[in-house]
Amino acid sequence: MNKQIYPLLIAQFLSAFADNAILFTVIAMVMHSHELATWYVPALQSAFLVAFVVLAPWVGGFADNHAKSRVLIIANLIKAAGAVLLLCKVEPLLAYCIVGMGAAVYSPAKYGILPELAGHEFLVKANSWIEGSTILAILLGMVVGAKLADYSVTMALTLTIALFIASAFITLFLPVRIAKTESSTSQLIEFGKQIGQFFTTPRSRFAILGASLFWASAATLRVIIVAWAPLVLMSKNATEIAQLTLFLAVGIIAGSAIVPRLIPLEHLRRARIPAYIMAVFICVLSFTDSLLPARCVLFVIGMMGGIFIVPINAALQELGQQSIGSGSAVALQNFFQNLAMLAAVGTYTFATAHQVDPVMAMQTLAVLLFILTFLVSMKLPKKNRRPD
């Protein structure tokens, strides 16, 4: 393994830790305030996602046409600027949107730099290390960020700013390489062509739409839990909600670990089965009214989600590597995933503004996930002998 991968692992860990710490810091800010309405948390999530959708036609090309190591630095500094705005008590919706802009720039460069550092032989191993460090950072960031924010929002925001800056500094140790020269074609036109390419076959359509469905469901469930846990489980602060979300994340890790033996790429159609089970258990969660059963159900939901998303991601990466460029493929994936999340969370935000019951919202999510999984997997072949 190329030793240059280690600075990326450290930088990614710090940035992902700060991403999740700042999310639960903002949730704590909302829970501590008596002036902000219940729709504010899903509105924050929507503000974050807008950047991924709006910037998608440009961030992939930006990552491919410039040194990705320097793009990572720019992205971390943008995130840090958003955290500074939160610390200065600027409107959280605006400040968190700035953090989202940094994340939208960061993602294509993070995944796009891996082939440059690892090469073909170690690419899968490098991806495994990045995903492992990211999941660990997510778990620690949620718990530490929530606990610190419940004690002091100022301390939590100061920590996230320091972590973003530290991540940017460590990224200076990565090599400066440019993968390709800038195209003279309009980025919007190029982006439209890339969308056309990815929707030509059932397998690529399912990869895009299946990933979008998973992340839309996960994002909506997370914001529903913020309203549902205090109402049903009597959760009192951001720390208790973070601990619930922790079981969801651990379930995803477990599902991701066992899925290679269950769903090889040749049998991508099997991925619809855990999605159906995931929908059923979301419905089961809506009838749960005590902490231990809720944790168990969330673990199962996460595990089914991990089994669902991992083969879909693998298929999508395979198609992207063969066609439009690594950074552009990630940006295209981010566009559809975040557009779906924005639509789902935006709909829930509207519903909460009209006092929808979180239990009913959870049941509606379960039904929609079941129906949409059936629709997006209808045209999939039973077996795919080779990549499309």
Local structure of 339: helix, strand or coil: helix
**Number of folded domains that form the chain:** 2
Residue 98 shares a structural domain with residue 197: no
Q: Which residues of 315-354 are buried (b: 16+ CB within 10 A; e: fewer)?
A: bbbbbbeeebbbbbbbbbbbbbbbbbbbbbbbbbbebbee
Q: Does any domain span residue 78?
A: yes
Whether residue 269 is found in the same domain as residue 304 = yes
* pLDDT value for 387: 43
**Spatial contact of 26 and 92, defined as CB atoms under 8 Å apart:** yes
**CATH number assigned to the domain comprising residue 40:** 1.20.1250.20
Return the SS3 of 255: helix
Are 263 and 174 in contact by the 8 Å Cβ rule? The answer is no
Tokens of residue 61, six digits: 């090309």
Q: What is the CB-side half-sphere exposure of residue 159 using CA atoms within 13 A?
A: 23
User: Does 8 fall in a domain?
Assistant: yes
Helix, strand and coil in the chain, % to nearest 5: 80, 0, 20
> What is residue 341's predicted lDDT score, i.e. its pLDDT?
85
User: Are residue 71 and residue 196 in the same domain, yes or no?
Assistant: no
Q: Which of 174, 203, 235 is the last residue of a domain?
A: 174
pLDDT in the model for residue 156: 92
Spatial separation of the C-alpha atoms in residues 104 and 106, rounded to whole Å: 6
Asked if residues 295 and 244 have their Cβ atoms less than 8 Å apart, the reply is: yes
Are residues 196 and 150 part of one domain?
Answer: no
> In Å, how far from its chain's centre is CA 23?
12
Q: What is the residue-level pLDDT of the chain in tens, covering all 388 positions? A: 567 788 888 999 999 999 989 888 887 887 777 666 566 777 777 788 888 888 888 887 787 778 888 999 999 999 999 999 999 988 888 999 999 999 999 988 887 777 677 665 565 566 667 766 777 788 888 888 888 988 888 999 999 999 999 999 999 988 776 655 555 567 778 778 877 777 777 777 888 888 888 889 988 898 888 888 888 887 767 677 777 888 888 888 788 777 777 877 677 778 889 999 999 999 999 999 888 899 999 999 999 988 888 777 767 766 666 666 656 677 777 788 888 888 888 888 888 878 888 899 999 999 999 999 998 887 766 655 544 4
* End residue of a domain, out of 174, 196, 221: 174
Whether residue 197 is contained in a domain is answered as yes
Pick from 145, 174, 203: which residue ends a domain?
174
- Domain identity same for 234 and 316: yes
- Are 229 and 146 found together in one domain? no
Task: Mark whether 296 and 221 lie in a shared domain.
Answer: yes
Identify whether residues 170 and 192 lie together within a single domain: no
- Residue 194 placed within a domain: yes
Asked whether residue 179 is assigned to any structural domain, the reply reads no
Nearest to 313 by CA among 91, 136, 134: 134
- The answer as to whether 180 is a domain residue is no
Full residue range of the structural domain in which residue 159 is found: 1-174
Q: Are residues 319 and 350 in the same domain?
A: yes
The whole-angstrom separation of Cα 281 and Cα 304 is 9
- Rounded CA-CA distance 306/309 in Å is 5
Task: Assess if residue 209 is contained within a domain.
Answer: yes
R_g (Cα) of the chain, nearest Å = 20
Same domain flag for 278 and 139: no
Residue 181 resides in a domain: no
Contact 194, 333 (CB under 8 A): no
Both 159 and 204 in one domain: the answer is no
| Tens-place pLDDT, residues 3-62 | 778 888 899 999 999 998 988 888 788 777 766 656 677 777 778 888 888 888 888 778
The pLDDT, as a whole number, for residue 262 is 80
User: Over the stretch 38-53, which tens digit does the pLDDT of each residue have?
Assistant: 667 777 777 888 888 8
Clarify whether residues 118 and 223 are in a common domain.
no
Q: Which residues contact 12 (CB under 8 A, 6 or more apart)?
A: 110, 130, 133, 134, 137, 167
